[in-house]
Amino acid sequence: MGLTKKDFTLLIIVAILCVFAPFILNPFPEGSAMAQFNAGYPDLMQRLVIFGIFAIGFNILFGLTGYLSFGHAAFLGVGSYAAIWMMKLLTMNVIPAIVISVLVAGLFSLLVGWISLRRSGIYFSILTLAFAQMSYALAYSVLTPITGGETGLQPKYTDPRILDGALEPGQTPRANLFGLDMKQSFELTMGDWVFTFNAGYYVAAVIMLVAFYLSIRIFRSPFGMMLRAVKSNQQRLNYTGLNSKPYTLAAFVISGMYAGLAGGLLVAMDTQVGAERMFWTASGEVVLMTILGGAGTLIGPVLGAGFIKYFENIVSKINKSILEQWFAFMPDGIEDLLITLVYPFIGKGWHLTLGILFMLVVIFLPGGLVEGGQRVGRLFKRKKPADDKPDGKTTPAE
């Protein structure tokens, strides 16, 4: 596959995690107090891998070249709109929708990148942000005939759908892969545990693995080396006979296509789109994911995306009654105090929790979660030789 042993092992580990995610993310039995920490339901699992793709792509631009785009949600949104129009006009099969979302996002990012890359540093970031906010404004109001404006778009039974043919009135069009419904799930009950295997999740996971594989190839290619050189010293690059502009533009378009792919997959899993997914907070979120996981590392963005999406869903689900349940064993006064203290950080306040986690990671682990993992790994490596020593006898230094 053209990978070194280490990279291949990483890919295999990620593949295994993806395949067994329904088990791994559902460690707690159904109905138990810890069940709200389970993440093994289709909607969340799909989001984990889809935003993983988004962050992998963003990392190709930001992690390698150092160009910080603050407008990548625009490409995700454009991909989503392209996909939903494929579903309205052509077929509910997800393949054409996903392909067209990648292509349209690629073209759009070519335009935005061509203009924004005239500047670097903070000016580049501001230009991309301006483009994204313009796209949001267009989608939200001006282009309502194409984007559905405030209400967004959904496939309806009245849509032409040339390949599928007409639907009965009232029937809901369902996204499928050659007849396999994306929402179709198989539930496996083992004792108190219930594991859900969802068709859409596995389609998204396979695509994420391909995207991850491609990103490894890009990282290890001469092209990837040039992108790191852009980040390191653009002056030397230019005086070494290399034109940095097409390199950065290519990286920008590739990451835009990844964003478009993520947008197309979001539509394939949940057939609706609204302008809010192009809002600047969505662009900021992918920046957070990449930095939180570890910018410039292979696996970091995937971890960051998983981390943020997991906490977004889990923490925001916790409400006051769950807290009361947790702290019920404590004396009344302390229970109320704890609930008052914790309450602002749960439910709608989950952004506070995310903010604190983000600060902790950036301050103590500048290399992101990957650096955390490396530190833990080193800790174990240092311990090992000590454990190996026969019956713990060490010669004391005299």
Partner 1 sequence: MGILEVKNVGKRFGGLQALGDVNLSIAENSVHAIIGPNGAGKSTLLNCLVGKLIPDTGSVMFDGQSVLGRKPYEINQMGISRVFQTPEIFADLSVMENMMIPCFAKRDGAFQMNALSSIPSQRDMIERAEHMLEDMNMADKREMHAGSLSRGDKRRLEIGMCLSQEPRLLLLDEPTAGMARADTNNTIDLLRQISEERDITIAIIEHDMHVVFSLAERITVLAQGTPLVEDTPDNIKGNPKVREAYLGETQDAA
Q: Which C-beta is closer to partner 1: that of 199 or that of 230?
A: 230
- Does 232 bind partner 1 (CB under 8 A)? Our answer is yes
Contact region with partner 1 (CB under 8 A), list: 107-115, 164-172, 210-218, 375-383:
210-218
Contact region with partner 1 (CB under 8 A), list: 40-48, 111-119, 235-243, 283-291:
235-243
- Does 236 bind partner 1 (CB under 8 A)? Our answer is yes
Among 222, 331, 390, 392, binds partner 1 (CB under 8 A): 222
Per-position b or e across 174-207, b if 16+ CB within 10 A of its CB: ebbbeeeebeeeeeeeeeebbbbbbbbbbbbbeb
DSSP bridge pairs for 198: 185
Among 19, 35, 180, 237, binds partner 1 (CB under 8 A): 237
The contact mask relative to partner 1 for 296-315 (x = CB under 8 A, - = no) is --------------------
CA separation for the pair 113, 397 (Å, rounded): 62
- Does 220 bind partner 1 (CB under 8 A)? Our answer is yes
- Does 9 bind partner 1 (CB under 8 A)? Our answer is no
**Residue 235 · residue 49 · CB < 8 Å:** no
CA 385 from centroid of its chain's CA atoms: 38
* CB count in 10 Å sphere of residue 172: 10
Contact region with partner 1 (CB under 8 A), list: 157-165, 234-242, 323-331, 388-396:
234-242
CA separation for the pair 295, 111 (Å, rounded): 25
The H or E element spanning position 10 is helix 5-19
- Does 4 bind partner 1 (CB under 8 A)? Our answer is yes
Among 9, 158, 184, 238, binds partner 1 (CB under 8 A): 238
DSSP bridge pairs for 180: 177
Contact region with partner 1 (CB under 8 A), list: 154-162, 189-197, 230-238, 286-294:
230-238
* Tokens of residue 384, six digits: 């090992």
DSSP states along 223-291: HHHHHHHHHH-HHHHHTTT--HHHHHHHHHHHHHHHHHHHHHHHHHHS--B-GGGGSHHHHHHHHHHHH
- Does 246 bind partner 1 (CB under 8 A)? Our answer is yes
Contact region with partner 1 (CB under 8 A), list: 22-30, 49-57, 124-132, 217-225:
217-225
Binding site for partner 1 (CB under 8 A): 2-4, 214, 217-218, 220-226, 228-229, 231-233, 235-243, 246-247, 250, 254
